[in-house]
Every structure is written in structure tokens, then in C-alpha cells.
Chain A
């Protein structure tokens, strides 16, 4: 029974999970999960059960896979999967291959410093469209290959035909992060890791939910720019970014536009018409706050006049999409949107979470790098994040 309750079918993974209503529902489900963990054995809190015949996991395509023993050789293709696997394992030792874009994120971010061994992992396992390089993957002799499960069978079938074991995943909500974490922890036979990571996320989600709910119903309007340099793309209503803007008590001026992945192209005029109080520049564009401050087109925006344009931090992975470091993103955004000089608390939370996720203590200089202190120096209320 535990397993049934604790293994929500993929259908329950819906977009916009973090909108208030869903948050409550999610909290109830997750609260139940925490309770019920007590009644099950190892793996009972993951989409899998350990049985005498081995480790059984169910991927997000609904396919069930049985491993004889914990996996030791994993290849990942979805970009965020590599850093998440490293976080669950607290080591890159079981990661034998990853997508090149994951590798460059490791190289350019802080993960490469924390885990130098991750830089030696093979990264020529597929192309930019995630079409696997079957032969190079087979040569790595992986126990399992992690691949996108929602982008058609064309990128999975060639690997399965070659006799590889593939887990198909989907992505876009905080629920997916929990599902991936459980899946990875189960196949590595480290169920306690999933519990530790997920309960940390849930605790902070609960905290943030009550904090957000306690705030006035019309918080500052926050516009997230996915891209701003050549084309303007913002986070619309069904995006993950929209969910955390609402979570902290802000409002998304672009909430009435929708795009296939939540990201929509808009006209500069539309941005001027929305006139957001706060602008977030994501990690998928090279632009920095200074670029926005200097552009004559944006001079009359409230956010520019109040110097409230911010570059989103970049930690073990980008903070914009859902990931293991998302609670830090929520706290950061909350401190930005409702400045109360609590920046030091965020710094210590980063230290705490990195201890949990990567068993690593970041230095002050590394914290500055993660929080992009330099890029955001000219922006209002950012001094709160300075090292004390």
C-alpha cells in the first residue's frame, strides 16, 4: 500500500506545479509521503521497490526496469541529469558518460571545482538534439542510460535495440526533480539520499509557501527574461519560472501569455506596457543587468529606474529551471522581491545545502561567484548578499 501511495503515476506530474493551489495539494501529498516512509523498507518512497529479485524502477514513460544490483555505470543525456545524479551520489564516480552541454556546465560552473573528476567523464554520447551516439555509449558499458522520455522514441529506440537499458524522463516541474531524485537514488541503492534531498526541498517549499501567503496579494511584478539580447523571450503562465514568482508572493506580468514550453517571444513594446517592478535575466542569455541599464529603450521602466534588474545565480546548475538547488532560487528571489536585509541567511543556506547536496563547503569567493555579486553590484538591495 505504501508503494502505491508513494508512487504517483506520471499523470500526476503536471506543469505549473508550484502555483499556490497545487502547492497545498503537493504539500499534502509530500507530507503523507514523509509519514509513510516509516512504514516501508528501503525504496518505498521512490517510484520503485526493492524486491528479492533486484531493484525495480519505473521511468516517466511508465516502463518498468529491473536491475539485479545497484547500478555502477550511468550515462546521462538530459542536461540537468548529470548534476542531479552527482548530487544524489555526492560523487561523479558512477557517472561514466554525460551530454556535452552538461559537461560544459560542469566545467564553467562550480561543480568542476567541487568534483574535478567529473571533468574527466566522457562527454561525446549524443548530439545537440539528444540523438544518442549508440556505439560510443555501448563502448562505455553502462548499466543504464538516462534519456528524455518525452521527445519521441527516435532517440530511445536505437539504444534499446542495441541492448542498452534506458530510463526515459520528462522535465519541467519541481515534481520532476523529486521523481528524478528518487529514481537515481533507487537505482544507486541510496534511498536515504532521496529522502534527505527531497525533505530539504519540501521543508523549504513549506517555509516559502507560508512566507509567500503571508505577503500582500499584490506583490511586485516580476518579469523573467529567458532571452533579451537578440530576441525577447519571457516566462509565460505555464512556465516553471512563473510558479516561483508566484510562490514568493510576486506577480508575473506575462501570466496571460502561453508558449509551448512556457517561454514566449514578445515585442519590446509589450514589455514597456507591462512595466515590471523587477526584471530577472536568466542564464540562457549572455546579457547582464548593466546591458539593460544602458539600453535607451528600457530607460523608463520602473525596474530600471529603481535599479531592480538582476542576473539569476548559477550554482551546481543554473538556478532558473527546476533542480536540486531550486530552494535557494526561491529564497534568493524572495530576498530580492521583498528586501529585508536577510542576504546573510541565504549565504549560510547555500553553505548548508551544498553540504547536503555535494558534501562541500563553498568559500566566500565561491559564494560571491554563485550569487553573481559582481554582475549585480549596481542593482538595488544586492549589498545584503555581500560577505560579512
Chain B
């Protein structure tokens, strides 16, 4: 899978609306990384290094992050319908971003706003479920749904008061989900929480396996499910807030990629978590490359993720009906 991801990344770097020969793409990357001078022109250098590369890396991080976050959440809640949206962090983060756009603040505030409000949503979830002995999963899910609805309403409020000719189009575009405005600064902002969260999840991989057996079995095996669950929640929230901050809400990946990965490698999270990351990353790079290359106009990412993903998922579902969840 890692090989596939590297291959896809290279292909994505070499295609685009601005024609750059593959050799020049390699030269540009080499000259930036190793200082080897090539024959690529300055404009080709800009296209590959400043336009394509941040975008591809951002798609990689966001897709991978959402994939692994979804897989971890589905295991933790032992529910195949759970996705990063369900714990309310996506809505919180989108409100923070929309607010920054509404107030006309810069990109830095957009990212900071998404981040702060994403974590605020998680904090509210904490408070909602505090003092409930052991925080039963139902409370957490219910709390997440309530928090999510609350922040969705606030997002609706921002679009309601936004100027339809100046700020509203920007908010709507951002909410649609896109990695089109990628820069290295955004890559950095996304990389820290996403990779940080992903590393924690991968380190917890065998504990998540135990957690997915259910609280009683986990306790019997010597694990305290509640603190562990919160560690998973905080890690996924970090990932989701980081992803939303730089790319808006990209649906579908966090829900479906874990299922695809599970069909392929089975329910063992030691393998499932890294594979979900790699599949999510590959998927989003492919989709985003299509979004920016198929037509001169940019196709909204959210449209493509579902239009291409849904039929593919349907076909796989028909073939692997028995594998989808029963065995997990």
C-alpha cells in the first residue's frame, strides 16, 4: 500500500493544467531537496514546488488522517456508522473557520479558529459526559451529536449574517471542503496535529484491538476502557481539527475508507490503522488530482469523493457482504 501511495504521489505531482515534463518534476524536487540544479524553468519550479507539492502533501495528510481517525473511532465505539463527524469536532472546527472568514481575518486565524473551536467541541463533550460513571458510549455519542448540532447551527448563523457578495462565497467554498488553497504553511499546520494524532493511534493499536471487543472483555483483559477511549478521542479530535482547519469538511473519507481497509486486511487494528491511513491518503490524492485536472474549472472535492467513492464502495459491498463488520 505504501508503494502505491508513493506511486500515486509521483503521478499526482506530474499532472496538472500547467504542462511540466516528468523529468522536470523530478529535477525541481531534487533541486529543492538536494540542491541539484536542473533544466526546469522558474515557472515550472513554482508550479511543482509551490502549487502542486503542498496540495498533494495536504491531500495525503488530510486523507490519511481522516482514514485512520475513522478506523479508530469505529473500533472505539464498536459501531460501523461512526465517523469523525459524529463526535462533533468537525462541526466545531468548521464554525471556527467560518467565523474567521466572516470576520475577514487572515489564513492564520482561519486555521487557529478551526483548531480552537474543534478542541472546544471536544471540551464540551468532556463536560457533558463528566461524572457519568465510566462515560458510557451512548452518552459520548449522544453528546457528540448534540455538540455537533449546536456548532452546525452556529455555522448556519455565520452564513446567515455573512455578506452575500463578499464573505459568503468564501465561507461556502471553504465549507464544501477543498485543498485548493494549500501552502507549505498549511501543510505544517496540518502535519503537526494529524501526524501527532496518528502516531498515538498507531502506538495504541493493540489496545484498540482490545477495546473493540467491548468494555467487559477489555476490563477482563486488564484494560481500563474509559481513559483509553478518551485518549483515542483526543487523538482523533486533533487529527480532525487539523484536517478541517486546512481543508474544510471533507466527508466520506472517514466513514468509508476504514470499511474498505477492513474488507481488504481484516479487523486487526495493528494492520488496519496504518492501512486506513495509507488508503485514505491515496484516495484523497487521486480524487484531488482529478478535481484539479479534469476540467479547467475546479470540481468541488466533496462532489467527487462521494460520486466516485459511493459506486466503488457499493461494488465492494456486494462482493464482500460477509466481511464488512461481522468479523470485526
Contact = CB atoms under 8 A, between A and B. Distances in A.
Contact of A267 (B16, B163, B164): B16
Contacts of B101: 230
Interface string B169-190: 1100110001011000000000
A128 B102 CA distance: 13
Which one of A256, A268, A270, A299 has the highest number of Cβ atoms from chain B below 10 Å of its Cβ? A268
Contacts of A259: 297
Contacts, number: 103
A272 B46 contact: yes
A265 interface: yes
Interface in A286-331: 286, 296-297, 299-300
A268 B51 contact: yes
B169 A227 contact: yes
B33 interface: no
Contacts of A300: 42-43, 46
B18 A273 contact: yes
Contact of B180 (A232, A236, A272): A232
Contacts of A104: 163
Contacts of B170: 227, 229-231, 285
Contacts of A272: 18, 43, 46-47, 51
A137 interface: no
A284 B168 CA distance: 10
B107 A230 contact: yes
A235 to B, nearest CB: 12
B165 A269 contact: no
A299 B46 contact: yes
B94 to A, nearest CB: 14
A127 interface: yes
Contact of B168 (A128, A231, A267): A128
Interface residues of A, number: 36
B46 A297 contact: yes
A269 B17 contact: yes
Interface string B280-299: 00000000000010011110
A127 B50 contact: no
A345 interface: no
Interface residues of B, number: 37
B17 A273 contact: yes
Given A231-B170, A300-B42, A300-B46, A265 B18 contact: no
A229 B183 CA distance: 12
Given A101-B165, A300-B46, A230 B173 contact: yes
A381 interface: no
B19 A267 contact: no
B7 interface: no
Contacts of A297: 46, 50-51
A159 interface: no
Contacts of B19: 273
Contact of B296 (A257, A284, A286): A257
A273 B16 CA distance: 10
B52 interface: yes
Contacts of A129: 164
Interface stretch (B154-162, B214-222, B307-315): B154-162
Interface of B: 16-19, 42-43, 46-47, 50-52, 101, 104, 107, 110, 159-166, 168-170, 173-174, 178, 180-181, 292, 295-298, 300
Which 4 A/B pairs are nearest by Cβ-Cβ distance?
A300-B43, A265-B298, A273-B18, A270-B17
